[in-house]
Structure 1
Amino acid sequence: MIIITPYAAARLSFMIAEEPDADELGIRLVPTTTGCGSYTYSIAITEKERSDLEQDISGIRLFYKQTEEEQLTGIVIDCDAATNRFSIIHSRPLQNECPHIN
């Protein structure tokens, strides 16, 4: 489904482990629209909701809805070791005609 690079997985594991309820936590990718029908994502550290599916990726629990599965397939989560900033890249972004792109 998605790939989490080794450094990103280590960083996420560290962040989750700092939480008092770490054993119940995982991540969720939260889509935000870019205005042209494609998505960018944020990472949320959260508990599993009742209707969530769960997948272990590189030791990180990913929570998602079944309706999000196709949309999430192909995403790579990476983390820059110098800045500890995460990047979320889609290997096959949604294709569309956007009048705002030159």
Structure 2
Amino acid sequence: MIITPYAAARLSWMIADEPDADKLGIRLIMTTTGCGSYTYSIAITEKDESDRELDVRGIRLFYKHTEEDQLAGILIDCDAATNRFSISHSLPLQTDCPHIN
């Protein structure tokens, strides 16, 4: 898991703006696409009892132990011009997917 410096700064600012910032971190929400790859979104949330926690550039990442393998290779970046986050994975997309032309 890699969070770029600008993405970490942006996430830190967003979390600090919350009244309970000391309890908050991020969680990646993974959604399976039609071909077995994933798309991701970020949620700012509190830690659940069963969560594991990882500190990446000062950002607390909460995840379930079953998600650990899926997190390896993820890159979270943020465009400084638009402040939009992008989340990508180092594993290539499946090329034998019948839905990709």
Q: TM-score range by the shorter chain?
A: over 0.9
Deviation at 1:37, TM superposition (A): 1.2
Which residue number corresponds to residue 40 of structure 1? 39
SS at match of 2:12: helix
SS at match of 1:36: coil
Gap runs ≥5 in structure 1: none
Instruction: Tell me how large the CA RMSD over aligned residues is.
Output: 1.2
Deviation at 1:63, TM superposition (A): 0.2
1:44-55 correspondence runs (5 A): 44-55=43-54
Say whether the 8 Å CA contact 2:35–2:94 is kept in structure 1.
no
Distance in 1 (alpha carbons) for counterparts of 2:95 and 2:46:
33
Q: Over residues 21-63 of structure 1, what are the superposed CA-to-partner deviations in whole Å (9 max), with x where a residue is unaligned?
A: 0000000000112211110000000000000000100000000
Distance in 2 (alpha carbons) for counterparts of 1:74 and 1:33:
16
Identity %, equivalent residues: 80
Deviation at 1:96, TM superposition (A): 6.3
Using the size of structure 1 for normalisation, the TM-score is 0.94
- The number of aligned residues is 101
Gap runs ≥5 in structure 2: none
Distance in 2 (alpha carbons) for counterparts of 1:94 and 1:61:
28
